[in-house]
Structure 1
């Protein structure tokens, strides 16, 4: 029974119909939530179905917060664009000698990887799926 529950939760993680889901769940906060849910399932405190609902709500809440609460703007300039890729509506850029700027603050880094997707389109998909 426990193996079936773990498999169900694992499958829920693998089903990434929204790009942002994969990006957000691979953060420290997302990984910690998933590990905590795994522990709760293991100790019989919650069902795998509830864990899936929690993860889906987490995805929705983070997407909403990013769309509505983040107001700051950041600009950057790269010395060199090493590689770029566009796949499944996700841009990935590998940059060298990058300067990030926010108003008066400046940060310089040697290498950076930027993964970007259109959060507005993802939010529209979420809204449409409720109908």
Structure 2
């Protein structure tokens, strides 16, 4: 199983994709090389988040909807509260996507 591509949808992922597109348009790299870079990004960010992030956050809220498909859970919560050791954050609505990281290739 390959690494999840969820993080391509972050600011960092979008910026990387835009930079790669620009390099392709200028003829400095091939589309195949850009794809290899994106695949390496997927692997690297999944490994980094799994191994380097040690913070714990608890959350609660009213469950609006949930779905489980292809080992991916999707939850939508209303009136959610997120707590870590020092802070509390409240949001009206949040979507949480959770994937099984144990099955992902490292």
1:54-69 to structure 2, matched below 5 A, reads 54-69=37-52
**1:81 touches 1:95 (CA, 8 Å); kept in 2?**
yes
* Aligned CA distance change for structure 1 residues 62 and 72 (closer, same or farther; 3 Å): same
Query: Which ranges of 4 or more aligned residues in structure 1 deviate by more than 3 Å?
Result: none
Unmatched 5+ residue regions in structure 2? none
Determine the structure 2 residue equivalent to 1:31: 14
Correspondence 1:87 to 2:56: no
Larger Rg belongs to = 1
More strand by share: 2
Correspondence 1:112 to 2:94: yes
Determine the structure 1 residue equivalent to 2:57: 74
Q: TM-score, normalised by structure 2?
A: 0.93
Post-superposition Cα deviations, 1:43-92, rounded to whole Å, max 9, x if no partner, equal 111111211111111111101101110000000011x1110000111111
Please report how far the alpha carbon of residue 31 of structure 1 lies from its aligned counterpart in structure 2 after TM superposition: 1.1
> How many residues end up aligned between the 2 structures?
106
Q: TM-score, normalised by structure 1?
A: 0.76
Higher relative contact order (CA 8 A, sep 6+): 2
More helix by share: 1
RMSD: 1.4
